[in-house]
Chain A
Amino acid sequence: AQSVTQLGSHVSVSEGALVLLRCNYSSSVPPYLFWYVQYPNQGLQLLLKYTSAATLVKGINGFEAEFKKSETSFHLTKPSAHMSDAAEYFCAVSESGSGGGADGLTFGKGTHLIIQP
């Protein structure tokens, strides 16, 4: 069975500082991995995805994530935080490559990113 663990329900960084949001996954097969973001009063938006191509994945708004099989991790980073990055971030895994079903998209509990001025 697949699962996702996001370390830290809240992460606070200063504006301009490095953003690091941690995600570890469990999967019995090579997984598809995703980061979604939810800005206040908006829907979930796909930031980036890993689909077995390059292990370093670049997404929107300057975010990137690196797939590390040996560590079963898919941490999200951004070199310099901006106030507009304040949102809730979700890591997700899918074994089947499908959005639905028991082996479809499985989400972590989410991490609130707080940006201090």
Chain B
Amino acid sequence: EAGVTQFPSHSVIEKGQTVTLRCDPISGHDNLYWYRRVMGKEIKFLLHFVKESKQDESGMPNNRFLAERTGGTYSTLKVQPAELEDSGVYFCASSQLPGRWTSGSGGELFFGEGSRLTVL
């Protein structure tokens, strides 16, 4: 079974340009999450989709970031226009259940390899 895949693995752009990151979750996983790790800092939550609906986007930094999940399958995260502080690694994760963990239950998040964004 294919895992969570992200594209591109690395993107280098100039300040002011636009970049679109893509995430393909594990087939059948309704829940999709985006996280970001800025260099030297923690991995931080950005937003959570349930199917095509945004369940929680409280972690999105500002309105330069736009996430979509049309049809409830793959998701895109667009940064427009990119700023220097947007550099980092963007992780996508998916789960079958809404990430609620109890002893022995599912809900585990499966992460992709991340997309590294460098803004010059």
A interface residue numbers (CB < 8 A to B): 4, 32, 36, 41-46, 49, 51-53, 90, 94, 96-102, 104-110
Contact = CB atoms under 8 A, between A and B. Distances in A.
B10 to A, nearest CB: 11
27 contacts: A43-B4, A43-B112, A44-B43, A45-B111, A46-B108, A49-B108, A51-B102, A51-B105, A53-B104, A94-B99, A96-B100, A97-B100, A97-B102, A99-B33, A99-B48, A99-B95, A99-B107, A100-B33, A100-B45, A101-B56, A102-B59, A105-B35, A105-B45, A105-B109, A106-B42, A107-B43, A107-B44
Main SS class of interface, B = loop
A42 B35 CA distance: 15
Interface residues of B, number: 36
A98 B100 contact: yes
Most buried by B among A41, A46, A105, A110: A105
Contact of A109 (B40, B91, B105): B40
Interface in B67-120: 91, 93, 95, 98-105, 107-114
Nearest to B103: A53
A41 to B, nearest CB: 7
Contact of A52 (B3, B45, B55, B103): B103
Please list the 8 inter-chain residue pairs (A to B) with the smallest Cβ-Cβ separation, ordered nearest first.
A99-B99, A100-B48, A44-B111, A53-B103, A107-B43, A43-B111, A97-B100, A43-B113
B120 to A, nearest CB: 23
B58 interface: yes
B93 A99 contact: yes
A94 B41 contact: no
B101 A32 contact: yes
A4 B112 CA distance: 22
Interface string B26-66: 00000101010000111111011000000110110000000
A107 B112 CA distance: 16
Contacts of B93: 44, 99
